[in-house]
Chain A
C-alpha cells in the first residue's frame, strides 16, 4: 500500500512539473509534507540542500530520499519509477511525433521559433548558476563585496580552457573542485 502511495505521489510530481527543477519544488512539498507527512519541514530543507550538493534532478533526488526513508530501498525504487513514468510516456510521444512530422513546414516553423527561446532559457539558468558560484546567491541584485575571488579565478580559467582547448566539461568541473579542496587544505593547515 505504501509503495502504491509513493508511486502515485511522485507520479504526480513528474507529470505536473513543467519547466524543470524549480517547478517541481512546490509539488514535492505538497506531496511529502502536507499530504503524507513523510518529511518534516527541516528534513525537506535538508533534501534541498543535499540536492544542490549532489548531481541529478531534484525530483529524482527527493523521490529517492523520501522513498528510502519511508520504505527502504524498494521504496526509493518505486518512488523513482513513479517520478520518471510520466516523462517516459509524454516525451516518447513527442519524440515519435517530432521524427514523424519534422519534414512538415509548420513543424519546422515551430521548431525554428523554439530554438532562440531554448538558448534564452539555458542562458537564464546559466545566470543563476554563475551568481551562485560567484556570489553564493542565485538572484539579482548582487553585492560586489560578496564576490568570491577564488571562484572568479576558477571560473575564468575554466572558461578559457573550454574555449581554447578540447578539454571535456567533466574534467573542468573536477579540476575546479580539486583546486578548491587544495586551497582549503592550504588555508586550514
Chain B
C-alpha cells in the first residue's frame, strides 16, 4: 500500500471519527473499527481484528486507545501508531475541554439528554449486531472447546467480579496447552 499523505490522512481521520462516536464504553470501538478497517478500507481481516482486540484488552489503559495504537502500528509502524493515538485522543480532549466550562448546563439540558438517550438504543443495536456476527464466527466450525470457553468467559465476565485479565490469561493458557497437545500428536503420528 502506498504510504502517501492521503494514506496518513485516512488513518488519522478514521481514528478521529471512530473515537468521536465511541459512546457507551471502549468496546463500542470494535464494531466501528470493523466496519471501517475490515469492511470499508479492507486493511485487515476479521480474525486479525479479534487478535488486535485481544492485545488491546490485555494491556492496561483505555481499550479504544490501545486498539487504535495497534491498527496504526500494523498499517504504518511507530509513526502510524503515534498518528492514530493522537487521532483517538483529540475528540475527548476537545469535547470535554469545551463541556467542562459549562458542564452543569450540559448535564441538565433535556434536549441533550433526549438525543443521548436515543443514541444509547442505537449503540446497543450496534454492539448486539457485532456480538451476533462474532458468536456465529466462533460457532461455525462446531468445535466444542471454543464454544465452552466462550460461554464460561461470558458468565465470568458478566456475573462475577473476576478481573478480565485473569480470564484472558486462563483462556490464553488453555489455547497454548491444546495447541501443544495437537503438535505432539502430529509428531507422534509421523514416527
Chain A contact residues, CB within 8 Å of chain B: 14-21, 23-24, 46, 49-50, 52-61, 64-65, 68-69, 73, 76-77, 80, 83-84, 86-88, 90-92, 94-96, 98-99, 102, 105-106, 108-130, 132-134, 140, 150-152, 154-159, 161-163, 168-170, 172-181, 183-184, 188
Contacts and interface: CB of A to CB of B under 8 A. Distances in A.
A15 B175 contact: no
11 contacts: A50-B99, A65-B103, A113-B149, A113-B175, A115-B50, A125-B25, A130-B124, A132-B120, A158-B121, A163-B132, A181-B114
Contacts of A115: 47, 50-51, 54, 138, 146
Nearest to B95: A54
A76 B126 contact: no
B43 to A, nearest CB: 14
4 tightest A-B CB contacts, nearest first: A113-B175, A180-B118, A109-B179, A56-B92
Contacts of A117: 54, 149-150, 153, 167-168, 171-172
Contacts of B62: 14, 17, 20-21, 24, 57-60, 83-84, 87
Contact of B172 (A21, A99, A114): A114
Nearest to B133: A163
B131 interface: yes
Contact of A91 (B59, B127, B175): B59
Interface string B1-43: 0000000000000000101111111111011100100000000
Nearest to A85: B61
A173 B21 contact: yes
Contacts of B47: 115
Nearest to B147: A116
A189 to B, nearest CB: 13
Given A60-B62, A68-B101, A177-B119, 15 more contacts: A18-B60, A55-B21, A56-B96, A60-B92, A64-B96, A65-B100, A88-B81, A94-B55, A95-B74, A110-B173, A115-B50, A124-B158, A126-B27, A130-B127, A173-B23
A73 B107 CA distance: 21
Contacts of A23: 163-164
Contact of A50 (B31, B107, B154): B107
A176 B107 CA distance: 20
B96 A124 contact: no
A65 B55 CA distance: 28
Contacts of A99: 73-74
A18 B167 CA distance: 12
Contacts of A52: 24
Given A50-B96, A68-B100, A181-B114, A123 B119 contact: no
Most central of B118, B122, B124 by chain A CB within 10 Å: B122
